[in-house]
Amino acid sequence: MKYAVADISSSSLSVIIAEICGTEIEVTGKERESLSLLYYMDGKDLSRRGMEKLAAALAQMKSRLAEIGVGKCWLIATAALRHIGNFAEVTEFVRQRTGLIVNLIDGKSEAYCDYIANRCYSSCDRAVLVDLGGKSMEICALGDGKDGMVCFDFGLIDLYEKFADKIKPDENEAKDMGKYVRTRFDKAGLPEDGEYKTVVLVGQTCGSIYDMYKEFTDTDEGDGAKTMERKALFRLIKRLISGADRSRLILQTAPEKTHVILPAAVVLKKLIKRFDATNLIVSDYGVKEGYLSLMLDGKESGAYYDFGSESTEGDARMPLGKRDKGRTGSRTPVRRNKSEEIPAKKRVKSAGDGKQS
């Protein structure tokens, strides 16, 4: 059977298609459609036009999944919908228009899904996972003895809205962003020099940074891991902040990320310098892969659409995090005892890359 997990993020609607192949879950396809809900906000609520755009994109995605023979599809949403005021109205509108039920993932669960999908990097030297989203950030230790998560209730879009007056923030605005995130990191007790040496970057914006890095350094990705050299990345970040050709760099590789590329670059530089990290890896795995692993292993909850019966099965995931506000930025242990490990047949790999999580 083919499975799918679709994710409503701050800037897009993305989906993975996967099958169980032997002892693994193999990701056989990925799709992504730009869909910035930011432009359809009416105060804290998503506007009627925004709901219509979201439902239309989901209906098109659902049709494509049916055409390729997907059996079950889970629809998840992270910070993009976590903070809207009319969440219940939006999800009911989506259900009526598409038959799909939204499963809400809180920040801590999002970080845990990222962790599950990226445990293959646990063997790297003092590894930490960094997921930079539009409306939240998750940082999760991967190495033994350093288990913990820090979840922040602000993201790249928030930084842009808070500090930028123009489409692309200027150098002074970038400095203000840096001061702000450093203060937030200090308040959360984020580890400093020497704690981590390897930073594993997750998410679409980090992927766009890597694409830009390849163009900037003329790097041939090959078949290996996606890595970046620290000094070269810092040169790229400097060019993005103050370079005369920064617009060209962004428009060539990530035009849909114009608003968040610079905030992402500022945050990455602050984190890398804070940890004094030297190994930088960009992962293809994220919350969707981790959520699917946990669902198929019976360790997550959520409603799914069954294409065979053309109906929804199960109850929507409504995490405690939706009602438990004010606790972001706290550290929570990630238990890694044997009872929580996913069996070999539930591990995820992307088709053709040979890596496992």
Q: ∠83-156-120 over CA atoms, to 5°? A: 95
Percentage, residues of the chain above pLDDT 70: 87
Q: What share of the chain is helix, strand, coil (3-state, %, to 5)?
A: 40, 25, 35
Instruction: Specify whether the CB–CB gap between 11 and 204 falls below 8 A.
Output: yes
- Say how many C-beta atoms besides its own lie within 10 A of residue 32's C-beta: 15
Non-local CB neighbours of 146 within 8 Å, separated by 6+ positions: 126, 128, 195, 196
- Indicate if the pLDDT at residue 117 is higher than 50: yes
pLDDT band at 222, cuts 50/70/90? Answer: low
Tens digits of residue pLDDT in 81-95 = 888 999 999 999 999
Mean pLDDT of 170-179: 93
- Indicate if the pLDDT at residue 343 is higher than 60: no
Mean pLDDT of 280-288: 95
Q: Which of 74-83, 215-224, 285-294 bottoms out in mean pLDDT, i.e. has the lowest?
A: 215-224
Q: What's the full length of the chain, in residues?
A: 357
pLDDT band at 291, cuts 50/70/90? Answer: very high
In the chain, where the domains are located: 2-107+285-323+342-350, 119-282
Q: Candidates 3.30.420.150, 3.90.1150.10, 2.10.69.10, 1.10.357.10; correct CATH number of 119-282?
A: 3.30.420.150
pLDDT at 332: 35
pLDDT at 329: 40
Instruction: Specify whether the CB–CB gap between 349 and 24 falls below 8 A.
Output: yes
Instruction: Specify whether the CB–CB gap between 102 and 317 falls below 8 A.
Output: no
Secondary structure (DSSP) of 222-249: TTS-EEE-HHHHHHHHHHHHH-TTHHHH
What are the Cα distances from residue 141, in Å, to 34, 138, 151, 194?
30, 10, 12, 13
Secondary structure (DSSP) of 298-309: T-S---EEETTT
CATH fold match for the domains 2-107+285-323+342-350 and 119-282:
yes
Instruction: Specify whether the CB–CB gap between 78 and 290 falls below 8 A.
Output: no
Q: Which of 54-63, 70-79, 147-156, 305-314 bottoms out in mean pLDDT, i.e. has the lowest?
A: 147-156
Mean pLDDT of 223-232: 87
Separation of alpha carbons 303 and 287, rounded Å:
16
Separation of alpha carbons 279 and 196, rounded Å:
9
Q: Candidates 1.10.10.10, 3.40.50.620, 3.30.420.40, 3.30.9.10; correct CATH number of 2-107+285-323+342-350?
A: 3.30.420.40
